[in-house]
Amino acid sequence: MTEPLLPIGAFSRATLLSVKALRNYHEAGILVPASVDPQTGYRAYALSQLTDGAVLRRLRELDLPLEAAKQILLARDPAVTQRILATHQAAMRERLEQAQRIVTELQASVEQPSMHTPVHVRDEPAAHTLAVRGTVPERQFATFLGDAYPSIADAVRSASATPSGPVGALYSAVLQDEEAEPIEAYQPIAAPVTPPPGPVVLSELPAMRVAVLVHAGSYESITETYRALGAWVAQHASWSELPVRESYLISYTETADPADFRTEILWPIVGQVS
């Protein structure tokens, strides 16, 4: 006997999954309809798929990534489900702790005026650097920098270079709607050297006038400092399309407590300051 089929609309109501979501799940190979009309593309689902629909909805309520949900549905193995959910629980706990740190830092910035440093303008001279360049998604910036700085430190030692300031990073002046963004990790050095073979290259920071604001605390709350600096530039200066710099005055190499981090944001400007 052929198993009865539910049209996508009825299946949507029965599982409380939207038609749009069901189409996305189909395209991702997660919840594939039992039947697709070759002429109209109309989808229909078997009654036995109602359970998968219910499980998928609960997994998505946990913000479980689609790929992980797909693994659970395809494996149909309690051990796989337990392993994936345990990993996701740990990630959610880390996100909660991160959110709590951000809230604490935001409250501290309101309650402690000393954490608010004024914007100031200075002229940065040109400088030689040893650098590692890449093009990566924004969510991978921290990983890229974490891999780049040890390579740069090794190159500094190997080439007998003399550091002339804290490490930093260059970011595109304009965020594009792209999967990846250019980024450059650098160490200023007193004089040019020949780096050893590898990812580290000799580079240079151009001379420029910058508006500077110091961010106090972890990088999770740095968007607030960018907002404040961007507002100042809009009111008092003209914007330059040169890359924005971050200079890590106090970071993981100096302290294990993100609350003690200090990061200079250097926003390039042109013309007179009002």
Displacement of CA 270 from its chain's centroid (Å): 29
pLDDT of residue 107: 59
Residue 180 contacts residue 212 (beta carbons within 8 Å) = no
pLDDT of residue 82: 86
Same fold, 5-76 and 117-270: no
DSSP notation for the chain: -PPPEEEHHHHHHHHT--HHHHHHHHHTTSS--SEE-TTT--EEEETTHHHHHHHHHHHHHTT--HHHHHHHHHH--HHHHHHHHHHHHHHHHHHHHHHHHHHHHHHHHHH-GGG-PPPEEEEEPPEEEEEEEEEE-GGGHHHHHHHHHHHHHHHHHHTT--B-S--EEEE-SS--SSS-EEEEEEEEESS---PPSSS-EEEEEPPEEEEEEEEES-GGGHHHHHHHHHHHHHHHSEE--SPEEEEEEE-TTT-S-GGG-EEEEEEEEES---
Single-letter amino acid, residue 63: D
Domain extents in the chain: 5-76, 90-114, 117-270
pLDDT of residue 134: 94
pLDDT of residue 249: 94
Residue 113 contacts residue 164 (beta carbons within 8 Å) = no
pTM, two decimals, is 0.60
CATH number for 5-76: choose from 1.20.1250.20, 3.40.50.300, 1.10.1660.10, 3.40.50.1950: 1.10.1660.10
pLDDT of residue 196: 93
Q: What are residue 216's DSSP bridge partners?
A: 262
- Mean pLDDT per 10-residue run, the chain (274 residues)? 78 84 89 89 87 85 84 82 83 73 58 59 94 91 94 96 95 76 95 95 94 89 84 85 92 88 92 72
What is the number of other CB atoms lying within 10 angstroms of the CB of residue 173?
13
pLDDT of residue 1: 53
Polymer length in residues for the chain: 274
Q: Does the structural domain 117-270 have CATH classification 3.20.80.10? A: yes
